[in-house]
Amino acid sequence: MPFKTVLVTGGAGYIGSHCVVELLEAGYEVIALDNFVNAVGNAEGSPALQRVEQITGKKVTFYQCDLLHKEALEDIFDKHTIDCVIHFAALKAVGESMQQPLMYYQNNLLGMLNLLEIMRRHNCFQLVFSSSCTVYGEPESLPITETHPTGTITNVYGRTKYFIEEMLKDLSAADNAWNIIALRYFNPVGAHQSGLIGEDPTKEFTNLMPFMAQVALGKKPVLTVFGDDYATEDGTGVRDYIHVMDLASGHVAALNLLNSKHLRIKAFNLGTGKGVSVRQLVGVFERVTGAKVPLKMEGRRIGDICAMWADPGLAKEELNWSAKFTLEDMCADFWRWQTMNPDGYPKKLKHSSCNGHSK
């Protein structure tokens, strides 16, 4: 029987909210939960999800809930028949993870354990896990395929993703009921083409494009680039940047595969297959937006990787998915979001009946 209702943890966040758009437009009913560590909102609801409803014309059932609070999570599963879970909710700042490792292990690992236990009690065995290319560590070869070794990781955030993948492998080996896809993201950027949702600049962020846009808006004086002496074309680090809406469509493709095939567990890279340096990205951003982004060069950060980009061939073959948006699209869409919302999401919610479910 096809899935109908999908629980999205971290659904008010940057990637989660864009994924909810794609899920609603694909015909799924969505229940979203968030604890607002990485997103704006409160028990009354989420401005990002209200805008998702504006974009799609469809309703989202929302709960303010922390995965560390098992009773609140259990209550959501008691109230709804959930067919599948897409799990985004996690602490995600690499630098912070190195400074506060116990907080990251508690939140990301214990939160996952609680979710899996409650899913099992409610006979919900379909899961899409938000993993990361960080599980590969320093690449042994490029581009990176899913057969590349994992586990030699340079930061605590990446290790939590790796440990969870290992946990899921053990779980699926012990119980054939589980059907799991781990999506290993490369570097999400961009925003929805409407300009209504995007990465909120008022929340803590360390990603390149939000910083770049804040500098272009005049809210920050300069973009600091860490390392200009890498063995790359221009000395700056190289990454595989993927539009957040391509990432979102990858989750719908993952659900389609889970619907049609019992995999037990399988991992897929979500990337474009193209490596882009920091200087190249800044150059495209300046050309597309007409804004200037002054740079300040500093030394490399400990644990930073020189270059990595995906081989997305397996996702194309088995998920029937490939990235559609160009680097120019990524820059133009993010700039539209930032110029329309220079201070991020409004801090006061509009009155709405759709976000009336909260915990």
Return the residue matching tokens 């221009």. Answer: 234
Distance (Å, whole) CA 82 – CA 95: 35
Distance (Å, whole) CA 24 – CA 29: 6
28 is catalytic: no
Written as one string, the DSSP assignment of 208-220 is: HHHHHHHHHHTSS
Distance (Å, whole) CA 200 – CA 55: 17
Q: How far is CA 206 from CA 96, 188, 222, in A?
A: 10, 12, 14
Exposure class string for 332-351: b at 16+ Cβ within 10 A, else e = bbbbbbbeebeebbeeebee
Distance (Å, whole) CA 335 – CA 273: 23
- The catalytically annotated residue of 14, 63, 157, 345 is 157
Written as one string, the DSSP assignment of 223-277 is: EEEE-S-SSSSSSS-EE-EEEHHHHHHHHHHHHHHHHH---SEEEEEES-S--EE
Q: Can you give the length of the chain in residues?
A: 359
Query: Any idea which residues carry the catalytic annotation?
Result: 157
